[in-house]
Structure formats: C-alpha cells, structure tokens
Amino acid sequence: MTPNTVSLPNEAHEELVRALEELHRAAGRPGMRRVSALIAEGDHPAVVSHEGVRTTLKGLNVPRWETVQSIVAVLAGACVDPPRDATAEVARFLPLWRAVREGEPGGMKSARELALSQGWGTDDGQWTAEAVVGVMINPFNAIEIAPSLAVPHEPVISEDEWVQVGVRLIEENGAEFALRALLRTLKGDYLGAEEGSPFGYHYPDQEAVEMHTAFRYGCDRLLQRLAVEPNLLQRSISAMHADETMDREDRIEMLRAESDMSLMREIMTAAPETWHELSEEAHNQLFGYLIKAIGPVGRFGLPPDQRFRITWRIPEPSTA
C-alpha cells in the first residue's frame, strides 16, 4: 500500500470525491484517457496518467494537489452548459483537498488559497479569519492617506499599532500571506468595496470584528488551561450552573445544548489535540462553560492579551 492510499474513507475525502464526481458529470463524463491527454496538452502543473485520473476520481487515493488541480482545470474547461470558470473551480477544490491531506478544513486560508479566492468570505454575513485580517491589514486604518488617493478620515489605530499587527500576522501566517492580503486591499478588494464605498471609507462593524477576535483569543486561552489543569471543565460546568448572575437567555441556550447527548459526549473529549476535530457548537459551549465574560480593555489593534480581559468561571491558579 502506498503512502497516499486511503485505507478507510473519511468524511472529508468523501466530500472531495463527491465534488469531483459532480464536476466530471457536468463536463460530460469524458474518458480517463481523454482527461489525461487534455492535461498533457495544456499548461498544467502535473502530468497525470489515465490511471491517475481514474484513481483520483474514484477516490482510491489522496493525490498531490497538483494532480487534483490539473484534473479540475481540465474538467471545468470541458463544461459547456453552463460553462464553468477553471480558476474559480480550482479555488473551490483547494480547501476540499486540504481538509483531506492536511486536516485543515476550517482554519485560516493559506497564501495559495488567498491568491486563488475572491473577496474576504463574508458574503453569508459570517466573519472569517481572513475578513479580520482584511480589516487590520488595511493601511487606511492607521494613516491619513493623501486626499488625492482617498477620502479624508481619522485613523482608528496608530502607525506603531498597525506595524505590530503586521509583524504578528507575518509571524503567525508567513510573509507571503500578509503581502498577498495587503496587495488585495491596495488593488481595491477591501471590505466595503462591494457597496461602492470610496477606498477604505467604509469601516466594517467593529463590534463584529472584536467579537470574532475575542472568541479566538478566548479559545486559545481556554485550551492552554485545559492542557494543564485537571478537572477544569467539570469544575467550570458546575460553576456555570451555580452562577445566579448569568443572563437568562444565555442560560437557556446553554441548557438547551446540554440536552444534546452527542454534543455533550463530544465536549467531554475536549483537549488541545482534539480541538480541531470538535464542531462549532462544541467550541461555543466550551467557551460558555469556561469563560464568564470577555471584553476589550485596550485599544483596537493591540495584541489580544492586551486588548481583552477574560473573567473565568474558575479563576486561574496563582503563579506565586
């Protein structure tokens, strides 16, 4: 068995195979040899044999990204009614492949994905990690751009804070990602552009940005505590139930979630090494169990540990 052979199907791989099957059907089901020949004739990153095409479409292995990219581009080009854009299809398949090969279905886009995608992923009204980056990387927020280039405005963060954000972004996600995000903004693909706002004039809902950033920071901190404090989750659950000051609607929502036994079993497996396997519902419930409140105490653009203060249900142990 080769290293890329899949012995047991998983949900992410099945989703990739279903998407490939749908694209193959939309392209008129060209033969494997035909697909291989079209790849060889075009300017594609891989040469794929007809057997390689077959095993990829049938889900018999997990090929390199270049193989999937070449097959998808050729199949998209073969779609006529309706036609499909090859670049858009390749961008659609990259996160599907990455979820299988790298186990990262919902994290920050890679620099490669950012280059292939369009927009910042907020079309459904949900803030994404990339959307937050799009706000913070926009230099409009840190300097008063020359009037010939932008509308008059007051910066919302200092230049030093903007630089700190950029440095942290590079450290966490790499220089290529940060530079591509900046270039996208400077080319006019910034948050608010779809409403026709002048460059940088429309500032997104800062409250939504803060909520997203605070949630991510809170999750990082609670994982740090779960890793070193035995029984923290159980003690936090008890503290939540005993909290008479808890908002009524929040309590109802938490108790409603507790009636889902499968969700509770999932929550009880929470640990740093299993975090990315948990559902969004489990993340939210764990956040509510461990964190009573989190809010800003510093200026926008500061590092999260300086920007937000967490009120824990179980106070952190003394370091003395």
| Residue 234: closest CA among 262, 260, 270 | 270
Read off φ and ψ for residue 262, nearest 5 degrees.
-65, -35
Across 79-93, 128-142, 258-272, which has the greatest mean pLDDT?
258-272
Model-wide pTM > 0.85: no
Confidence of residue 33 (pLDDT cuts 50, 70, 90): very high
% of the chain exceeding 70 in pLDDT:
77
The distance from CA 210 to its chain's CA centroid, rounded to whole angstroms, is 16
Is there a contact between 87 and 71 (Cβ–Cβ < 8 Å)?
no
Residue count (the chain): 320
Task: Compare 65 and 293 and report the one with higher pLDDT.
Answer: 293
Helix, strand, or coil here: 14?
A: helix
Helix, strand, or coil here: 295?
A: strand
**What's the average model confidence in pLDDT over 75-85?**
89
311, β-bridge pairs: 293
**What's the average model confidence in pLDDT over 257-266?**
93
Other Cβ atoms less than 10 A from the Cβ of 87: the count is: 13
Is there a contact between 68 and 56 (Cβ–Cβ < 8 Å)?
yes
What Cα–Cα distance (Å) separates residue 49 from each residue in 1, 7, 12, 32, 121? 19, 22, 24, 8, 35
Read off φ and ψ for residue 182, nearest 5 degrees.
-65, -45
End-to-end CA distance of the chain: 54
> Exposed, middle or buried by CB within 10 Å (0-12, 13-18, 19+), for 267?
buried
- Determine which of 127-131, 135-139, 254-258 has the lowest per-residue pLDDT on average: 127-131
Is there a contact between 176 and 113 (Cβ–Cβ < 8 Å)?
no
Confidence of residue 191 (pLDDT cuts 50, 70, 90): low
Mean pLDDT of the chain, nearest integer = 81
Q: How far apart are CA 55 and CA 58, in angstroms?
A: 5
Residues contacting 25, CB < 8 A, separation 6+: none
pLDDT at 178: 83
Confidence of residue 21 (pLDDT cuts 50, 70, 90): very high
Long-range contacts of 258-264 (CB under 8 A, 24+ apart): 258/285
| Residue 250: closest CA among 220, 280, 291 | 291
Residue reference for tokens 């929470």: 270
